[in-house]
Chain A
Amino acid sequence: MTMPEAAPSTTPGWSAGFGRRGLTYVLPFAVLAVLWQVASQFFPPFLFPSLVDVFKRCFDILTHWSQLSDVLATVGRILAGLAGAFIVGVVLAVVMVRSRAVHDFLSPILTLFQGIPALSWVVFAIIWFHGIEPRIFFIMVMTTLPAFTFQVLGALQAMSRDLMEMVMSFRPTRAKLFRVMIIPAILPDILTAWRVNLGNASRVVVVAELVGATGGVGYELLQQQQMFDMAGALAWTLQLVFFVLIAQAVLSFIEGIAFRYRATSERSL
């Protein structure tokens, strides 16, 4: 008796899987765009402008330096604010994890800061600072600092005691301890903190620019509101959305490289 020849494998290849994932990602946006376009046929442009108009405005923004510089100014403010908050947050978290007294002193203050609305920081910044950029930087730092601090603190506290003890048994210098153990151990939480704070910062920066700035996406949004220009408002909003998407993709790319050591399970949650 001869065994029948095995049928050729019909397992979908890499490209099929990639295509399916791409479709899953794009589909919700496509449905939303179609619904909007249909609505634009029945409502006046100041309520639901055609997507063609919106994309034309987007193109204008990206191809005219006078407008693109506003987008870049906002991106710069977001990144500067996040970097400032991250650096201060890491320093505070390290000090808090090393000293119980500092932890008990700073923890309620940071919790208090978390409860202050972004708009209140805007008002405080206008009263306390003269220049536009220091105001926006202050607002960005104060609104994202508590989250960064608590996330880094949590990561430091959650580090494996066993691994720490193992590394300590080799008697590392402080710099080497940070390089071989602490930074790799807390990196996943740091990237998550950046992901979360990136979204928060891109919302807060608009509020900050609405009130105090003479340029940037927030300032431009205020102009569109005064002209009742919905296509313009959407186009400027999309610039921030694009930025967040690009920044998240960069973070995903970094995660892909930094966390290639992780085991993957065939079953997921």
Chain B
Amino acid sequence: MTTASPIISLNQVSKSFGKSGAASAYVAVDRLDLAVGKGQLLALLGKTGCGKSTIFNMIAGLTEPTSGNVTVDGRNPFKEFDSFRGKIAIVFQGDRLLPWRTAVQNVELGLEMLDVPAAKRRETALRWLGTLGLRGHEDDYPHALSGGMRQRVSIARAFATDADILLCDEPFSALDEMTGRTLRAEFVRLVRETHKTAVFITHSINEALEIGDRIVVLKRPANIAIDLPLTASTPAAEKEAIRHQIQSALAA
């Protein structure tokens, strides 16, 4: 599937680990072409170990592709790493909160990197904690918060910088079903309200169907198996058909 004005673009991207060309080299991503349009919420679905996180790290600029080009907003996120300060925010699988910082200080982290004045920083962080239902827990250290609360703090940390692009690496997979569902709904609402482009990695078909307005199913090594558009108005029967299509692709 092609996108009119992609903000994220992967062109014939491969990534292998170990000595290139050697028998022991592990190919995680194999000549992947993927374009994500501005404002799109893409669910990237695949089995464990299919290279989802490697794609994520390449888009984030944390890893360089072995071959091919990754561009975000027309630039190389690995080579022009610093120029993306405040442009890409990440919600990780674990909350990854700094244990020596309180909830509000953790949310302020990204804003500190952007040299936002202290008062404005605090105001923004408190507002996001409030939005995510953490009023009253601003000064708690991470060890005093539950798993769900910690993940809310990490979502607040990502949204606080008001980055155009959100990358999410299975952020709700470690939470119980109820908490995960609530946070997922809140997350989708916030992404829509703030008009962000989001790439959401998951291995759950239900989660992909709940979140994405486009689902890309990956085979192993990472390459597109199927690419499916989805809308909020997609009828339930059609969603069921899509579910079966995804299941078949994953089983292949």
B60 adjacent to chain A (CB < 8 Å) = yes
Give the residue name and chain of the A residue nearest to B95 (CB).
Answer: A166
Q: Decide: A170 near B143, CB < 8 A? Known: A163-B98, A261-B100.
A: no
Give the residue name and chain of the B residue nearest to A188 (CB).
Answer: B100
Instruction: State the total of A-B contacts with C-beta under 8 angstroms.
Output: 52
B161 adjacent to chain A (CB < 8 Å) = yes
Q: Decide: A169 near B88, CB < 8 A? Known: A261-B143, A263-B143.
A: yes
Q: Which 4 A-B pairs have the closest CB atoms?
A: A263-B143, A166-B96, A171-B85, A170-B113
B109 adjacent to chain A (CB < 8 Å) = yes
Set A170, A176, A184, A262: member contacting B161, Cβ < 8 A: A170
State how many residues of chain B have any CB contact under 8 Å with chain A. Answer: 26
B37 adjacent to chain A (CB < 8 Å) = no
B176 adjacent to chain A (CB < 8 Å) = no
Q: How far is A176 from B89 in the complex, measured between Cα atoms in Å?
A: 17
Chain A positions 169 through 182: 1 when the CB is less than 8 Å from some CB of chain B, otherwise 0:
11111001000110
Chain A positions 135 through 161: 1 when the CB is less than 8 Å from some CB of chain B, otherwise 0:
000000000000000000000000000
Q: How far is A172 from B82 in the complex, measured between Cα atoms in Å?
A: 8
Chain B positions 60 through 102: 1 when the CB is less than 8 Å from some CB of chain A, otherwise 0:
1010000000000000000001101110111010101011111
Decide: B62 and A169 in contact? CB cutoff 8 A: yes
B121 to chain A, nearest CB (A): 13
A259: chain B residues at CB < 8 Å are 100
B123 adjacent to chain A (CB < 8 Å) = no
Q: How far is A151 from B92 in the complex, measured between Cα atoms in Å?
A: 30
Q: Decide: A261 near B141, CB < 8 A? Known: A171-B84, A181-B98, A184-B100.
A: yes
Decide: A176 and B112 in contact? CB cutoff 8 A: yes
Which residues of A line the B interface, CB within 8 A?
A: 162-163, 165-173, 176, 180-181, 184, 259, 261-263
Q: Decide: A180 near B62, CB < 8 A? Known: A167-B109, A169-B90.
A: no
Interface pairs (12), CB distance under 8 Å: A165-B62, A167-B98, A169-B88, A170-B85, A171-B84, A171-B85, A171-B86, A176-B112, A261-B100, A261-B141, A261-B143, A262-B143
Give the residue name and chain of the B residue nearest to A264 (CB).
Answer: B143
B94: chain A residues at CB < 8 Å are 162
Decide: B109 and A170 in contact? CB cutoff 8 A: yes
Decide: B85 and A166 in contact? CB cutoff 8 A: no
Q: Decide: A261 near B62, CB < 8 A? Known: A162-B94, A167-B109, A171-B81.
A: no
Give the residue name and chain of the A residue nearest to B102 (CB).
Answer: A261
Give the residue name and chain of the A residue nearest to B90 (CB).
Answer: A169
B160 to chain A, nearest CB (A): 11
B110 adjacent to chain A (CB < 8 Å) = yes
Decide: B81 and A180 in contact? CB cutoff 8 A: no
